[in-house]
Amino acid sequence: MADEITGGRSVHDGYQRGCGLMHTDMAARIAADPLYRAALEASGGWSIMVETKRMNLFLLLTRFLGRLGARDVIEFGSYRGGNALFMAWVLRELHPEAKVYALDTYAGMPATDPGRDVHHAGDFADTSQGDLEARRDALGLANLVVVPGRFEDSFPAIAEGRPAFGLAHIDCDIYSAVKFAQDAVWPHMTAGGYIVYDDADAPSCIGATEAVGDLIMARRIHAEQVWPHWVFRAGL
């Protein structure tokens, strides 16, 4: 199968990661990988992501991001920052020029839509921007940029710098935030950049699923993976 991008995704790459993780010993090999173990240690148990999703992100960062023209990473929804620390540790090792932007209110979920979302304002408030910055500094992760505030307020300043992202991790659970994040970041993705959704497949996040449905209908694109999470290629 050719390693080419058709219909907005590489079928070959999607099979390679998804089938590798589900049907081979790839997960065991990643779990034993010294870089994976060190990055997991750096994350301090501060991420609530499921393991297979973290492993797929690890594959994207270590085996696929290097093929792209730009490698900065942005996370919409970092909560305590565990996954942002994980990604920053991996990138510092492999692509030290690349930054990880970690966006969150760091004060809990903003207002939600009771017609779509089961989360409520104030969920995930047990976080601390100061603790995350202290851990980042203690680990020497100068490539991790902590960006507080609602995405709707904080992302425009990032966009002014005309960034190019290789990967956007959208992990914010509610319709309005997922919708804003995917639309705002799309024009700033490098060719073939990865848009990865943590919770569009979660039973408690049908608002996030709806936003991804909007993306598919508006952009007429196919997914490169739907397991362990939804992955699309942007910037094409």
Ligand X SMILES: C[S@@+](CC[C@H](N)C(=O)[O-])C[C@H]1O[C@@H](n2cnc3c(N)ncnc32)[C@H](O)[C@@H]1O
* Site for ligand X, rule CB under 6 A: 47-49, 77-79, 82-83, 104-105, 108-110, 124, 150-152, 171-174, 177
Residue 10 vs 167, nearer CB to ligand X: 167
Q: Cβ-closest residue to ligand X?
A: 77
Q: Quick check: 182 and 235 in contact, CB under 8 A?
A: no
Question: 55 or 177: whose CB is closer to ligand X?
Answer: 177
Q: 159 with 184: CB under 8 angstroms?
A: yes
DSSP state letters, 101-149: EEEE-SS------TTT-S--TTTT----HHHHHHHHHHHT-TTEEEEES
For residue 112, the number of C-alpha atoms closer than 13 Å in the C-beta half-sphere is 22
- The CB-of-43 to ligand X minimum distance in angstroms stands at 8
d(CA 211, CA 181): 10
Task: Give the nearer residue to ligand X in terms of CB position, either 25 or 51.
Answer: 51
As measured in angstroms, the least distance from the Cβ of 69 to ligand X is 26
d(CA 198, CA 187): 21
Q: How far is the CB of 206 from ligand X (least distance, A)?
A: 15
* Minimal distance, residue 10 CB to ligand X, in Å: 25
Our CB check for ligand X shows the closer of 68 and 84 to be 84
Q: How far apart are CB 161 and ligand X at their closest, in Å? A: 19
User: Three-state SS string across 175-213, please?
Assistant: HHHHHHHHHHHHHHEEEEEEEEECCCCCCCCHHHHHHHH
**CA 15 to CA 98: how far, in whole Å?**
27
Cβ atoms 9, 224 nearer than 8 A: yes
Residue whose CB is less far from ligand X, 16 or 112: 112
Nearer to ligand X, 77 or 235 (CB): 77
CB of residue 188 to ligand X, shortest distance in Å: 17
